[in-house]
Amino acid sequence: MKGVRHYPGFLPLTILCLVVLYTPLIVVAVYSFNASTSITSWGGFSLRWYGEVFTGREAARFGQAAWNSITIALMAATTATVIATAAALAMVRGGPFRGRQASFALINLPLMVPEIVIAVATLIFFSTIGLRTGYLTILLAHITFCIPFAYLPIAARLEGIEGTYEQAARDLYATRAQAFRLILLPLMMPGVISGWLLAFIISLDDFIITNFVKGAGMETLPTAIFGSVKQGIKPNIMAISTLMLLVSVLFVTAAYLINRKGRQSP
């Protein structure tokens, strides 16, 4: 059989897709180093917009938004990872139980439901129980939608670990708790770490749900950027976007590498 490369039109189509996907990112990254105030014409290389981000007129606003984003992402990712780990243990190691299929669907449902629907539903829920929108509501919403992202790599890792390791530990006089702490947890750690990294990025990155539940005056980086762009795109936005892109790429790469390393030495 011929490889996919030999299908007619494969190469042009591939190039088209790559161009559409990545040209905007490249343009943003390149123009963040533009010396001129224009966002369309090149005025030479400069780091002035990066300086502007940290010292300029909007620095305080973006600083606060970045602080909110990072603290929320840290807490949401950590909480979601703990919940996802417990869920994965129940699903993968819990044996057959009633409602297993349903549990699996419930854990992963947020991946399928349109985000705008979750955003509206979450907002309605918070106002029904009388919770004022703000930092706390953002955090709660982020924990919720981060769970499936943390769950997937953890469950995949756990499925690859044979049950005989825990049995061997129990056979060698370990209690259930010791077998978990000394054997299973270290073996599933690569999955837990990449689950946490993914959850962190997803939280850091979220706009739609955050925008609904944030309340007035509370900003995260994505909502602050959006607010700023509404008054026209300035080059400092490109600098911020490039920084966020860099963080995302670093985290996703780390998640990938940790997962791959874990798979090589199980």
Partner 1 sequence: MTAAVDLKNVVKRYGPVTALHGVSLAIADNEFFTLLGPSGCGKTTLLRLIAGFEDISEGEIRLFDKDIAGLEPNLRPVNTVFQHYALFPHMTVLDNVAFGLKMKGVDPVARRARAGQMLEMVHLSAFADRFPSQLSGGQQQRVALARALAPEPKVLLLDEPLSALDLKLRQAMRVELKQLQEQTGITFIFVTHDQEEALTMSDRIAVMSAGRVQQIGTARDIYEAPENRFVADFIGETNLLQVDVAAVREGRATVVLPGGKQIVCPASGTSSGRHNLSIRPERLTISDNADLMATVERVVYLGTDLQVIAHLDSGEPISLRLQNAARVSLPEPGQRIGLHLEEGGARLLAD
Judged by the rule CB under 8 A, the positions of this chain that interact with partner 1 are: 162, 164-165, 167-175, 178, 183, 186-187, 265-266
Residues 224 and 227: their CA atoms lie apart, in Å, by: 5
For residues 26 and 171, which CB has a smaller minimum distance to partner 1 in the complex? Answer: 171
How near is the Cβ of 170 to partner 1 at its closest, in Å?
4
Angle at 139 between CA 133 and CA 140, to 5 degrees: 80
How near is the Cβ of 15 to partner 1 at its closest, in Å?
42
Question: What 8-state DSSP symbol labels residue 133?
Answer: P
- Beta-carbon contacts of 16 under 8 Å, excluding residues fewer than 6 positions away, are none
For residues 116 and 162, which CB has a smaller minimum distance to partner 1 in the complex? Answer: 162
Under DSSP, is residue 78 helix (H, G, I), strand (E, B) or coil?
A: helix
For residues 65 and 187, which CB has a smaller minimum distance to partner 1 in the complex? Answer: 187
How near is the Cβ of 85 to partner 1 at its closest, in Å?
18
Residues 126 and 72: their CA atoms lie apart, in Å, by: 18
Read off the amino acid at residue 30: V
How far does Cα 42 stand from its chain's mean position?
Answer: 33
How near is the Cβ of 174 to partner 1 at its closest, in Å?
5
For residues 82 and 189, which CB has a smaller minimum distance to partner 1 in the complex? Answer: 189
- Beta-carbon contacts of 206 under 8 Å, excluding residues fewer than 6 positions away, are 142, 145, 220, 222
How near is the Cβ of 180 to partner 1 at its closest, in Å?
13
